[in-house]
Amino acid sequence: MIQLDGMSFSVDEVVAIAYGRDQVSIAPSALERMSISRRFVEEAMLSTQPVYALNTGVGLLANIALGHAEIEEMQINLVRSHCCGVGEPLAREVVRGLMAIRANVLAKGVSGIRPVIAERICDLLNCGVTPVIPSRGSVGASGDLAPLAHMALALIGEGDAEYEGKVRPASECLVLAGLEPLQLQAKEGISLLNGTQAMLSIGCLQLKEIETLFVAAQTSAAITMEALRGTPVPFDARLHKVRPHPGQLHSAEHMRSLLADSPIPRTQGVNRKIQDAYCLRCIPQVHGAAWDTLREARRVFEIELNSATDNPLVFEEDILSGGNFHGAPLALNLDYLAIAICQIAGISERRTERLLNPTLNEGLPAFLASAPGIESGLMIAQVTAAGLYAEMRVLATPASTGSLPTSGNQEDFVSMGMTSALKLEQSVKLARMIVAIELMAATRALDFREESETTPVLQEAIRRFREYVPAWSKDCVLSTRMTGAEKFIASGSLNNIEVQASVAA
C-alpha cells in the first residue's frame, strides 16, 4: 500500500500504481492538512471579498461575482463545460497514473477541498474504476483542464468509465464498485481541474520506458562492437575522467562492464584498427548525453509530483491566485526527452547500417544474408529503421515553442505540454523498434563470426533475446521477428542482465 502525503511521491510509485501493482491511500497527516485547508475555504465563503473560482467565474469571466447559492452549481458546471476532450482515450495506465498524481497533489493540503475528494480518487484506483479520458484537448495551461475534467466527471457519476474490462456509464461503474458519486462543494470543481497531471503521468510512464530502452541500446551497441571487432579503447576510464559528464561516465563504465574479458580477437600490430567510426567510438558521449537528460527529467518530474498545481491555493493567511498550473517545466523536459531518444535511435540506426554494409562490416556477408543475391537479408529492415528515424526527427520538434492564446487572451501564453507528452509517447515506440532492429542485426552478425562466443554478460543477453527471436538461416518474414525484438526490449529483460550473468558465472 502506497500512502500519499503530498511530499514524497516518486516516479517509480506512479508506475506501480498505474499498472495496478500497488494500492493507494491518503496519509493521516495529509488528511489533517486538507481538513485545515478546507476550514479556511469555508471561512472565506462567509466574506464578501472576491476569491477566484470560489465566488467568481473563471478565465476571462473572473470579474463576474457569484451569489452564495450559485457557488456549488458553478463547480459542477465547471466540470461539465470543461469536458471538451477529443480523440482516442488515454491508455488505462496513463489515467491511473493521472489519478494517483492528482490525489497526491490534493494531499498536499493547499487546495481547500474536503479530504473525501482525494480519498474517493483512491477508492476508484483500488476498485479498478478508470474514467475514460480523451487524449486531445489540453494546451498545458491552466494545466490539463480537459483531461482532468473527464476524470472529475466520473467522480460525480457522469460520463464513461472502464470497470472489469468493459466501458460503461460511470454511474453504473460506481454502483458495481460499491461507491457513491461525489457531490461537489465550493472550490472542489476547480481543484480537480487545475493541474499538470495528464502530461506528468505520460512523462513518468515514458521515462521508465526510456530507462529500459537505454539499457537495451547499450547492450545492443556492445554486441555490435563485438560483431564488428570494434576496439574497446574509447571506453577507457581515463578518457572519460577528463570529460566527466555523469551520463558519459555511466555509459562508458557500463560498456566496459558489458565488454569485459571478451574472447573475440582484435587485430594487432600493423593491422590494428586505430579507431572506429563515430557510431561505435562515441557511444558514451551520445548515450551519456541522453542519460543526463533522463536524470534531469526524473528530477523535474519528482518535484512536480509533489507540487501544488491548483489555482487559487489556500494558505493560513490568504487564498492566493498564481500560475502553478503552468506546464512549462514539464513541457520543456518532455521535449528534451524526445530529442534525447532521437539521439539514441539515430546512432543505433547508423550501427545497423554498418553491420549490413559490405564495405563497412569487417568481412560479414552483405546485409547479413546467408546467400547474398539470392537473399536480401536485413536490407529492408534497415530501410524501415531509416523511415522510423525520419518520423522521430519530426516528433523531436519541440511543442513547447508553439504557444497559442486561449480564453479570450486571458490565458495568453500556454505550455503545450500535453502535445509534448503525446508525441514523446509515439517517439518512444519508434525508438524501441529502431534499437530492436539493431539488436536483430548484431546478434545475427555475431552468428556469422567463427568466434561467435562473447562475454558472459552478452551471452546471457543473447540467450534471453533468442527466446523472443529465434535465429534464422535464410530469408524469412522479418516483421514478426522485429515485433518480437521490440517486445523483448519492452519486457525489461536486459535491466538486470549483469547481475544474472555474474550469478551464472
Tens-binned pLDDT, residue by residue, of the chain (505 aa): 999 999 999 999 999 999 999 999 999 999 999 999 999 999 888 887 888 888 888 878 888 888 878 888 999 999 999 999 999 999 999 999 999 999 999 999 999 999 999 999 999 999 999 999 999 999 998 889 999 999 999 999 999 999 999 999 999 999 999 999 999 999 999 999 999 999 999 999 999 999 999 999 999 999 999 999 999 999 999 999 999 999 999 999 999 999 998 988 765 444 567 899 999 999 999 999 999 999 999 999 999 999 999 999 999 889 999 999 999 999 999 999 999 999 999 999 999 999 999 999 999 999 999 999 999 999 999 999 999 999 999 999 999 999 888 877 877 889 999 999 999 999 999 999 999 999 999 999 999 997 778 999 999 999 999 999 999 999 999 999 999 999 999 999 999 886 554 434 4
Identify how many contiguous H helices and E strands the chain contains and give both numbers.
19, 9
- CA separation for the pair 417, 141 (Å, rounded): 8
Cell 512536480, located at residue = 304
Q: Count of alpha carbons within 13 Å of 234, Cβ hemisphere only?
A: 21
Cell of 196: 499538470
Q: What is the CATH number of domain 2-195?
A: 1.10.275.10
The confidence score (pLDDT) of residue 361 equals 96
Answer yes or no: are the C-beta atoms of 428 and 206 closer than 8 Å.
yes
Beta carbons within 10 angstroms of residue 369's beta carbon: 20
Write the DSSP symbol of residue 347. H
Spatial CA neighbour of 128 closest among 172, 161, 101, 151: 161
Q: What is the DSSP string of 89-143?
A: EPPHHHHHHHHHHHHHHHHTS-S---HHHHHHHHHHHHHT-EE--EEE---SSSB
pTM: 0.95
pLDDT at 115 (0 to 100):
98
Rounded to the nearest 5 degrees, what angle is found at the Cα of 423, between the Cα atoms of 285 and 250?
20
Instruction: Give the CATH number of domain 202-263+276-308+323-448.
Output: 1.20.200.10
Distance in angstroms (rounded) separating the CA atoms of residues 173 and 154: 9
For 26, list phi and psi in degrees, rounded to 5.
-100, 130
Residue 52 annotated among the catalytic residues of the structure: yes
**C-beta of residue 395 within 8 angstroms of C-beta of residue 423:** yes
pLDDT at 409: 82
Active-site entry in 19, 52, 278, 336: 52
The C-alpha atoms of residue 486 and residue 348 are separated, in whole angstroms, by 14
Query: In whole angstroms, what is the distance from residue 334 CA to residue 426 CA?
Result: 12
Q: Which triple of cell numbers denotes residue 104? A: 497526491
What does the DSSP assignment read for 252-276?
HHHHHHHHTT--S----GGG-----
Location of each CATH 1.20.200.10 domain in the chain: 202-263+276-308+323-448
CATH 1.10.275.10 in the chain, residue ranges = 2-195
